[in-house]
Amino acid sequence: MRVMTGEAGGPATTTKASASVRRRETLALIAVCLCTLLVVGFVASMNVAQPMLAASSLHPSSAELLWIVDAYVIVFACLVIPGGAVGDRFGRKGTLLTGLLVLALGAATSALAPTVAIMLVGRTVSGLGAALVLPNCVGVLVHATREAQRLRALGTWGIVSGLAGALGNLGGAALLSSGSWRTLFAGIVPLAALCAAGIMLATKASPRTFRRFDPAGTVLIVAASVALLGGIIEGPERGWGSPVVLGAFVLAVLLWCAWVLVELRVTHPLLDPRLFRSPLLSSASLGMLVTWFGSFGLFYLNSSLLQYGRGFTVIEAGLGTLPLAIPILVGSRFLPVLAVRIGVPVTLGAGFLFISGGLLGLSFAVHQSFLAYALWLVVLGIGFALALPTLTTVLTSGLPAAQAGVAGGLQSATRELGSALGIAVIGTITVAGFAGHLPAALQAHDPVPRTVAAALDLDPTGYGAITQAFVTGSGTALQVGAGITLLAGIIVVGLAGRHRPQV
């Protein structure tokens, strides 16, 4: 009997078709992971650029420097849920590609920015692009992957997403090694084009789902977040009792209250506040926010600490973050099993203890050898490896399967909002501590310099004392971050302990 392997439907044809499907799925996974690395890593990469930006011709103040970092994150955080709704209604693939185009446009604007104001416009536009990209990555990946391979693909995407911060630091350092901060933004443009090419070639358009938008809720949540972070960022320079800062905090409270009232009344809310009646969902959301608060609070400081405090080059500072990634890579295989065995509350409790302990240890290790510093980064990484996958599972299980899209959007929103708060709070405390530990002659100057670059402009010979003031201020900020994480972790574990979701 002769087997016709060349005919349609024969074994060779079937094998060839199967290999083609696998290859396409692999390419789709790579393209989606690259998109995720780009938009999330862009947050972390900005932290590596801080010393260059502070000393650049833009001459940003400490508050402007924080706004440059946070403008992208605020827009990203607040629009990520609407970005998912846009993808559902108009097509996830097309929305993702549009987001990459907008991201590249914003990055190009920042690269050419002659002033801080133009830089902030570029950062805001880039944040809008990121909000269109990230929530549609999962939808595109799910549609491009067979059901049998979907869980593994999503797991890989989750690991890449967790590593994006550390890899963003390294990628940003590589781009900045040219010696100009503008190369960081210019480099985003071809990277976005590469991601777009991968998405176009490896994925197909997915079915559209009609979803109503909530413009009032979207505007209110953006305005409330900007007001809150504005008060935090402007506090050190304007004074915590100044009308501008107090007005920003009062406005934030009023806007958040207005957002709740509006969302309770509209038929299709951006995010229904009634969902947070569930202690399980509330604990997971708070836990996700606080975890990323600690993560990006550290990322905001880490590169500057290594460059100012240890004399590292930009690329060495980027590599200096990698110890944090080791536990996430190593633990990704067995930590979900551990969570099942010891339970969610114990897993989360251990995670938050490691995170707060790592931040506290780093606050003292700023004066020690880099080996000690690296070991505390590993401790911190263990905390992230324990907390993040567990919180993701708890958050997802806190909503019905029909609301999986809401769970994904909420996870992304709390992640980015926590990142923005971490950068603002930790950065603000660092600025205040830095100004308070400067030499007496600089503290007597009006106004008191609030960046290392500004202080060195006034006293070029005082590099040692000035950088030491920055290191001391950073240590104080890390200690405050450790305390906030520990207290919030206790609340999260207490709420999670009231339920026993399956992990």
Alpha carbon of 469 to those of 1, 48, 82, 192, 431: distances in Å? 85, 19, 42, 39, 10
Q: What is the mean pLDDT of residues 98-111?
A: 96
pLDDT beyond 70 at 220? yes
Q: What is the mean pLDDT of residues 42-52?
A: 87
| Amino acid, res. 182 | R
319/254 same-domain check: no
Better-scored residue on pLDDT, 408 or 113: 113
pLDDT beyond 80 at 502? no
Q: What angle do CA 362, 56, 428 make, to 5 degrees?
A: 40
Q: How confident is the model at residue 501 (pLDDT cuts 50, 70, 90)?
A: very low
Is the backbone peptide bond immediately before 447 cis, with ω within 30 degrees of 0?
Answer: yes
Question: 416-451 pLDDT, tens per residue?
Answer: 888 888 888 998 999 989 999 999 989 888 888 888
Question: 150-204 pLDDT, tens per residue?
Answer: 667 777 777 787 778 788 888 888 999 888 899 999 999 999 999 999 999 888 7
The confidence score (pLDDT) of residue 360 equals 95
99/221 same-domain check: no
Which residue range(s) make up the domain with 350? 278-503
pTM: 0.82
123/255 same-domain check: no
pLDDT beyond 90 at 97? yes
As for how many domains the chain has, the answer is: 3
The confidence score (pLDDT) of residue 352 equals 93
pLDDT beyond 80 at 10? no
pLDDT beyond 90 at 1? no
Q: What angle do CA 415, 419, 423 make, to 5 degrees?
A: 175
Measure the N-to-C terminal CA separation of the chain; round to a whole number of Å.
Answer: 53
118/186 same-domain check: yes
Alpha carbon of 498 to those of 278, 283, 346: distances in Å? 11, 10, 12
51/84 same-domain check: yes
Q: What is the mean pLDDT of residues 386-410?
A: 69
Q: What angle do CA 281, 126, 29 make, to 5 degrees?
A: 65
pLDDT beyond 60 at 350? yes
Q: Where a domain ends, among 222, 242, 267? A: 267
Q: How confident is the model at residue 503 (pLDDT cuts 50, 70, 90)?
A: very low
Average pLDDT of the chain? 84
Question: 223-248 pLDDT, tens per residue?
Answer: 988 898 888 888 877 888 889 889 99
**DSSP class of 299:** H
Gap between the Cα atoms of 40 and 172, Å rounded = 12
Q: How confident is the model at residue 497 (pLDDT cuts 50, 70, 90)?
A: low
Q: Which CATH number fits the domain that encloses residue 65?
A: 1.20.1250.20
Q: What is the mean pLDDT of residues 472-487?
A: 93
202/218 same-domain check: no
Environment class of 246 (CB within 10 Å of its CB; exposed 0-12, middle 13-18, buried 19+):
middle
Closest by alpha carbon to 136, among 100, 77, 75, 95?
95
Quote the tokens at residue 417: 């909002």
The confidence score (pLDDT) of residue 211 equals 65
Of the listed ranges 2-6, 301-305, 407-411, 421-425, the least confidently predicted one is: 2-6
Q: What angle do CA 212, 213, 214 make, to 5 degrees?
A: 130
- The reply to whether 13 falls in a domain is no
pLDDT beyond 90 at 47? no
Name the 3-class secondary structure at 180.
coil
